[in-house]
Amino acid sequence: MRPLLTALLIVFCATAGAAELGRVLEPVPDRSAGERETAMVAALEKVLVRLTGNAVPTRFDGVDGILRQPSRWARQYSYLESPVDEADAEAPADSMPEQALTLVVDFDTGALTARLEALGAPVWSTQRPDVLLWAVLQRPAYGELLSARSEDVVARDLLAQADARGLPLVLPQMDSTDLAQVSPADIRGRFDRVISRASTRYEAPIRATAIIYTGEPVQVRWRLLDTDADDEAGEFSASSEQEAVSALVDALTGVMVSRYAVAGGVASARTVRIEGIGTLDAWQGVQRYLAALAGVRDVHMKAVDGKTVFFQMMFSGPAAQLEQLVSLNPRLQRCPDSAAAPEAQPQPAADAPAEAAVTPVLAFCWQGQP
């Protein structure tokens, strides 16, 4: 991959977030319609990887049909020209163009998500928590904590691979503040209190550590903090640093997908109670947020009781997963006493269909403006 294109991908990964899951940069040899169509297919498959959380989205029935019409799902496209780096190019210098060409495509993630859900494929919610990774690159003579500003190929590859998988990965700055609080030895020694204190400034809900031991083979140990789950930690070997980085990103992505991806299929009625909503703008914003979550459809306000608003929806996953998804919004947190009082639950109309019966209420408290 050309250095400038790699740098652009890293910038998109670091700054775009979930709103840019539908944007892909794909190299093309020229501006012809045939080359554009070929590049759009490749770009669309990358978006489907991000939306499903699966590295091979074509394994799900019907996804091939999406790929047969890439232009249908594209909002817009443009071309980006950049100088060719002769040192990085494989072709002879006298046969290279002066400008390298990249197709930039923005796909409609909302329409794609709806189609994936209709096909019964899993959809990874576009509301994704940042994953702060404290990664030690352990070479024979020293260990280095990788930073967001690092020029090391491993750090750059981590960000590029995370972008390709749709994983909102954050590397620490490793500025004077970080250096005064945490060291590679703290990561190796599992001094979690030290790591947690250093992590506070980043406000990332998910925190992870990894140690990459260089050599032949490359050894990797990783784990998520604040969890004892066996499937949220692991170790493996790889034949190269690039392979190790790819496997590490796959492992972290797998954990996030297991938590937040919702399988399409039959939806059940769910009710969410939000306490402390005092303005029209607030409850409309909450409704838009709920409607955008993976697996959610037909969201509407069911009842209002003072500053408490009840929303009813159809959701294709279990209640525990809906709770996880709603809690991704920092202003929507479980109330201290989250059990809904029976008399406070809205009752369905007498002529309502059976599937609209109210299930146990999930209760959250609105935290107001951040």
pLDDT, one tens digit per residue, over 193-204 is 999 999 999 999
> In this structure, are 276 and 333 located in the same domain?
yes
Domain boundary among 101, 124, 147: 124
Residue tagged 């209640």 (tokens): 319
Q: How many CA atoms lie within 13 A of 302 on its CB side?
A: 25
> In this structure, are 250 and 279 located in the same domain?
no
> In this structure, are 152 and 249 located in the same domain?
yes
What pLDDT score does 98 carry? 66
Domain boundary among 124, 141, 159: 124
> In this structure, are 9 and 106 located in the same domain?
yes
> In this structure, are 279 and 163 located in the same domain?
no
The mean predicted confidence, pLDDT, of the chain is 85
Nearest to 122 by CA among 259, 281, 274, 313: 259
Strand partners, 303: 310
> In this structure, are 77 and 145 located in the same domain?
no
Gap between the Cα atoms of 87 and 107, Å rounded: 33
What pLDDT score does 265 carry? 72
* Domain harbouring 153, CATH code: 3.40.50
- At residue 357 the predicted structure's pLDDT band, cuts being 50, 70 and 90, is very low
Highest averaged pLDDT of the listed ranges 83-97, 133-147, 261-275? 133-147
> In this structure, are 248 and 275 located in the same domain?
no
> In this structure, are 148 and 115 located in the same domain?
no
More confident residue, 358 or 146: 146
Q: H or E stretch including 115?
A: helix 109-119
Least confident of 5-14, 212-221, 331-340: 5-14
Gap between the Cα atoms of 152 and 223, Å rounded: 22
pLDDT, one tens digit per residue, over 279-318 is 888 888 999 999 888 888 889 999 999 999 999 999 988 8
> In this structure, are 155 and 246 located in the same domain?
yes
User: pTM (2 decimals)?
Assistant: 0.80
Q: How many domains, in total, are found in the chain?
A: 3
- Structural domain boundaries, residue 344: 268-366
How many Cβ atoms sit within 10 Å of the Cβ of residue 110? 12
> In this structure, are 86 and 170 located in the same domain?
no
Gap between the Cα atoms of 33 and 258, Å rounded: 39
- At residue 5 the predicted structure's pLDDT band, cuts being 50, 70 and 90, is very low
Residue 234 has pLDDT above 90, yes or no: yes
* Domain harbouring 316, CATH code: 3.30.70.60
Domain boundary among 124, 139, 167: 124
Q: How are beta strands 268-275 and 362-366 bridged, if at all?
A: parallel
> In this structure, are 238 and 138 located in the same domain?
yes
The three-class DSSP label of residue 256 is helix
- The answer to whether residues 161 and 249 touch, using CB atoms and an 8 Å cutoff, is yes
> In this structure, are 206 and 297 located in the same domain?
no
